Chains A and B, each alone.
Chain A
Amino acid sequence: MAPTFYHQQVLKIKGNVFPNDDLCRQVMQAKDFMDKHFADKIALKDISCSACYSSFHFLRLFKLMYGKTPHQYLTDVRIEKAKEFLKTDLPVSVICFSVGFESIGSFKMLFRRNTGYTPHAYRQHSLRKNVTASSLKYLPFFFSLKKSNFQDGK
């Protein structure tokens, strides 16, 4: 069967942008490395080594594949982990270091830039959402629907 128009486009883009599956696989391994070791002190050199690349070459290919630099990606992973920890009682300073940030100032600044909230405000916000959601469990279905109109309002 002749390839469809879409299949032709896929093959064309693959040939032009991602011609080497092995190289792509190595960059994906580097991403996995960051997913696993986000809490450690990681330098670009460590990540590119895990992908057997020069730092410059690795940076370019990573951005091409994921649309962000390895540093931005690592920051995003750390912020996501911090968001999970902020739902617990752990102090913000402990969370900051346990997800791999080295200073509370930069953690707060990056967290705010990424989520629109300070870590403290994010914790309060998710706490409020949980309290409202759990109290709604005890309301009849119809009332909880009506109530959600208020709950969603900021």
Chain B
Amino acid sequence: MKIKLTSVIVTDQEKALKFYTEVLGFVKKTEIPMGEHKWLTVVSPEEQSGVELVLEPMGFQPARVYQKALYDAGIPLTAFAVDDIQKEYDRLIGCGVAFSIKPTNMGAVTLAVFDDTCGNNIQIFQV
């Protein structure tokens, strides 16, 4: 058994694709139309055969409640690893990204949390 996919629920797939590629720097891997929504995944440019992140459309009402509860509490839906968190933080701030937590040391890890503009808090971390 292998982990090949993980997902974030997004309020708008087109807006999410723009943010996750143009701002975060991921690369679109798959886009398959499926009626109202699409199967849409992105990958890290450094690991294009690695785990795919599904930009999952918001099509289930209880998921909206769950997403909002996490968002309001500032809890990240998922986390991405970075090599230099301060550099990435500065770059994203320059792109207008809003952070709820600036880079903070937690033992061997430094973390920060930003708003993905699609209903989620996302954590970045450097080990």
B75-A24 in contact (CB<8A): no
Min CB–CB distance B93 → chain A (angstroms)? 15
Cβ contacts under 8 Å, B111 to chain A: 10
**Is A14 in contact with B73, judged by CB distance below 8 angstroms?**
no
Interface centre among B72, B75, B106 (most CB of A within 10 A): B106
Interface SS majority for chain B: strand
Judge whether B107 and A7 touch: CB under 8 Å: no
Identify which of A6, A18, A64, A66 contacts B74 (C-beta below 8 A).
A6
Selected from A1, A5, A11, A14, the residue in CB contact (under 8 A) with B75 is A5
Contact yes or no, A65 B113, CB < 8 A: no
User: Which residues of B are found within 8 Å of A5, using beta-carbon distances?
Assistant: 73-75
Contact residues in A for B101 (Cβ distance below 8 Å): 4, 6-7, 10
Write the A11-30 contact mask toward B (1 if CB under 8 angstroms, else 0).
10110011001001001100
User: What is the distance, in angstroms, from A8's C-beta to the closest C-beta of chain B?
Assistant: 8
Does A10 contact B106, Cβ atoms closer than 8 Å?
A: yes
Interface residues of B in 54-107 (CB under 8 A from A): 72-76, 100-101, 104-107
Inter-chain CA distance A7–B123, complex, in Å, is 11
Q: Number of residues in B with C-beta < 8 Å to the partner?
A: 15
> In whole angstroms, what is the CA distance A21 to B106 when docked?
8
Q: Say how far A50's CB is from chain B's closest CB, in angstroms.
A: 16
Asked, given contacts A7-B100, A10-B111, whether A18 binds B105 with beta carbons under 8 Å apart, the answer is yes
Q: Tell me which residues across on chain B come within 8 A of A78, comparing CB atoms.
A: none
Contact with A along B105-121 (1 / 0, CB 8 A): 11110010100000001
Cβ-based interface call for A108 (8 A): no
B52 to chain A, nearest CB (A): 16
Residues of chain B having any CB pair with chain A under 8 Å: 72-76, 100-101, 104-108, 111, 113, 121
Further pairs besides A18-B105, A65-B107: 19, Cβ < 8 Å:
A3-B74, A3-B100, A4-B72, A4-B75, A6-B73, A6-B74, A6-B113, A6-B121, A7-B100, A7-B113, A10-B104, A14-B105, A14-B106, A18-B106, A21-B105, A24-B107, A24-B108, A64-B107, A66-B108
